[in-house]
Amino acid sequence: MLSAFIPIWLLTALGYLTARFNLVGAGAADVEAVLGRFVFRVAMPASLFGMLARANLHALANTSIVAFGASSLAACGLGLALSTRVFGRDVPDGAVVGMASGYVNSANLGIPVAIQVLGNAVFLSTVILFNTVLVTPIVLTLMGLSSESAPGVRQRLRSIALLPVHNPIIIASACGALVSGTHVHVPADVSSALSLLGGAAVPTALITLGMSLHVDKAAGPGLSETRTRSSLLAEALTSLALKTALQPVLAYLLARYALGLSAHDVLAVTLCAALPTAQNVFIYASEYALDTAFARNAVILSTVVSMAGLWTVVALLK
């Protein structure tokens, strides 16, 4: 499983070195912002459209995904509630914390781990589908809220209803699901072009994540640093505990005792729930000008801690 983590660390380190040694020019912060927008508005929509266009949406109708989905939504919801009620964040920044608390790195890390432990990535494909179809639209809609816009109730409701329409991630996902549901054939040349473009999403996101380690430090205090150090630490540790401890434990309890799944399915559900926070959280926070420092730290810390968590799950359940 360690080999699954190595590419993530290498690309993140490359991003840091790129900014540290000024390999992209003087405006490293501007380059980071441009790369983040490229991932969010171009590469990731292409990847999600292609994935959903080829997906079988009926895969969501299985018992195993119920256990995983419930644990994921519970961790996200609890992270959002604690962030807004206890740590005093507004809803958009609270959505960043919520997503960091329960949105797993199911693609570039989850797939190699699943193949190594489970022998295949069948259940991971269902997890990716669940995250794309259900979790992502909800979280992005919350991130897009602004307390300063649409002051009237009717105007605010209209603004909330129109948020998904202006979001390329949600639009691409909806179009991909529509293509899958109607069995429309995507021309091979178009599909190949989308695959090439979508393949740039994960490595570019990791490079951007690595660049932020240097750029944010050089730029001075960020959004997170306007609060007390103790409050930031408490919130970070709370989110980390939700992601790396509560979510897999809850997934295990639901899979084994509430749903009575087989031993292999219990392992698959728990293993997927123990995966770290996806780098998408950082990209989304960057796009909406939210707390990128918290998102970045959540991705890095959960990835480190999850190495022990994943090994523990395998040792106990396999």
Residue 220 predicted with pLDDT over 50:
no
Under 8 Å between Cβ of 103 and 257: no
Task: Report the chain's mean pLDDT, rounded to a whole number.
Answer: 89
Question: What's the confidence (pLDDT) of residue 29?
Answer: 82
151-165, 204-218, 231-245, 248-262, range with the lowest pLDDT:
151-165
On whether the CB atoms of residues 15 and 208 are closer than 8 A, the answer is yes
pLDDT tens sequence across 152-163: 556 656 666 666
**What is the rounded average pLDDT of the residues 67-74?**
97
Domain containing residue 154: CATH number? 1.20.1530.20
Find out whether 72 and 102 touch, Cβ atoms under 8 Å.
yes
* pLDDT over threshold 80, residue 279: yes
Which amino acid would we find at residue 99?
M
Under 8 Å between Cβ of 132 and 51 = yes
Q: Calculate mean pLDDT across residues 38-57.
A: 92
Paired with 104 in beta bridges are 277
CB 284 within 8 A of CB 99: yes
Domain that holds residue 39: 2-317
Of 7, 15, 4, 10, residue with least CA distance to 282: 15
- 228 — pLDDT class (breaks 50, 70, 90): confident
pLDDT band at 150 (very low <50, low <70, confident <90, very high): very low
- Domain count within the chain: 1
> pLDDT at position 221, please?
46
Q: Structure tokens of 47?
A: 């990847």
pLDDT single digits (tens) 82-122: 999 999 999 999 999 999 999 999 888 898 899 889 988 88
DSSP for the chain, please give it. Answer: -HHHHHHHHHHHHHHHHHHHTTTT-S-HHHHHHHHHHHIIIIIHHHHHHHHHHHS-GGGGSSHHHHHHHHHHHHHHHHHHHHHHHTS---HHHHHHHHHHHH-B-TTTTHHHHHHHHHSS-HHHHHHHHHIIIIIHHHHHHHHT--TTS--SHHHHHHHHHHGGGG-HHHHHHHHHHHHHHHTPPPPHHHHHHHHHHHTTHHHHHHHHHHHHHHHHHHH---SGGGS-HHHHHHHHHHHHHIIIIIHHHHHHHIIIIIS---HHHHHHHHHHHTS-B-THHHHHHHHTT--HHHHHHHHHHHHHHHHHHHHHHHHHH-
Q: How far apart are CA 290 and CA 126, in angstroms?
A: 29
Give the separation between CA 119 and CA 82, rounded to whole angstroms: 37
Ramachandran bin of 22, using left for φ above 0, alpha for ψ from -120 to 50, beta for the remaining angles = left
- 176: tokens are 């991909």
CA-angle at 140, arms to 104 and 32, nearest 5°: 80
pLDDT digits (tens, 9 = 90+) for 284-309: 999 999 999 999 999 999 999 999 99
> Taking the CB of residue 298, how many other CB atoms lie within 10 A of it?
29
